[in-house]
Amino acid sequence: MLQTPSGGAGHGTAAADTGLMMSIGTVLNVLRDEFPEVTISKIRFLESEGLIEPQRTPSGYRKFSPADVERLGHVLRMQRDHYLPLKVIREHLDAMERGEAAPLPTVGRQRDGEVGLEPVEAPTAARIGRAELLAAVGIGEQELDEWESYGLIAPLPDGVYDAEAVTVAGLVLELGRFGIEPRHLRAMKAAADREAGLVDQVVAPLKRHRNPQTRAHAEARTKELAGLTVKLHAALVQTALGVRLP
């Protein structure tokens, strides 16, 4: 069994006790306590990238084993806590499953300026360079420039990106496979900005407090509110479409 890279048992371990095959909707519910931003599209994207290989029923529905759920948890945890390209995550987990010693790598830069990998013991800041983002998602400069022009992805002031840029880019790419172009997503970006503004308005007094514990509480409250807004948004979309996700 895989060991959790950042410590502690993942939700997949709890699911393993059931010994049941799960639908993608069930997997989503299992993971969302720890990863409130995870979506069915994200799970499908990780499958398309070879991170997981769920079984298929004769009618084509995905069925996930407890081991699949555990592996998904590790992938999401390494993206969130360590930012690593999907290729590196896949190679790392495959090596662990083969019983090989596999120190957790992190994205770094060698002296000659090329991207390299070096082992670390503690989590590192979730930051990624432009070339690393392109490689992780498998897109070109022109596509990224277009997505940035619509405000879907934006670099930080020093020119690098945060880890969530990889998640956003992967979802934009997958939506494109259904014919949904980046320009169509501007309304979603505007809605997300409004939701973020509402959350920030609620926690702003806590963020400005002199007490460090209060400021830490503001961060926890922000994550909690973000998770609730994501769930509400998903529920409203399903209601508007008159469908339930599998």
Cβ neighbour number for residue 148 with a 10 Å cutoff: 14
Q: Report yes or no on whether pTM surpasses 0.75.
A: no
Closest of 96, 128, 97 to residue 115, by C-alpha: 128
Which residue type, as a one-letter code, is found at position 171? L
In whole angstroms, what is the distance from residue 40 CA to residue 46 CA? Answer: 10
Backbone angles phi, psi at 16, to 5 degrees: -65, -25
Q: Mean pLDDT per segment of 10 residues, for the chain of length 246 residues?
A: 43 44 88 85 85 88 88 85 75 78 52 38 57 83 91 88 84 88 89 87 79 76 84 85 74
Residue range 173-230, pLDDT digits in tens = 888 888 999 899 988 888 888 888 888 888 888 777 777 777 777 778 888 888 888 8
Q: Bridge partners of 162? A: 127
Write down the pLDDT at residue 93. 81
* Cα radius of gyration rounded to whole Å, the chain: 19
Phi-psi sector, 7: left (phi>0), alpha (psi -120 to 50), beta: left
Residue 184 contacts residue 195 (beta carbons within 8 Å): no
Helix (H) or strand (E) holding 127: strand 127-128
Give the model's pLDDT for residue 35.
86
In Å, what is the CA distance from 8 to each residue of 2, 5, 29, 87, 126?
12, 8, 19, 24, 20
SS (H, E, C) 129-166: CHHHHHHHHCCCHHHHHHHHHCCCCCCCCCCCEECHHH
User: Identity (one letter) of the amino acid at 128?
Assistant: I
CA atoms within 13 A on the CB side of 231: 13
| Strand-pair partners of 55 | 63
- Which burial class, exposed, middle or buried, applies to 8 when counting CB atoms under 10 A from its CB (0-12, 13-18, 19+)? exposed
CA distance 133 to 156: 13
pLDDT of residue 159: 85
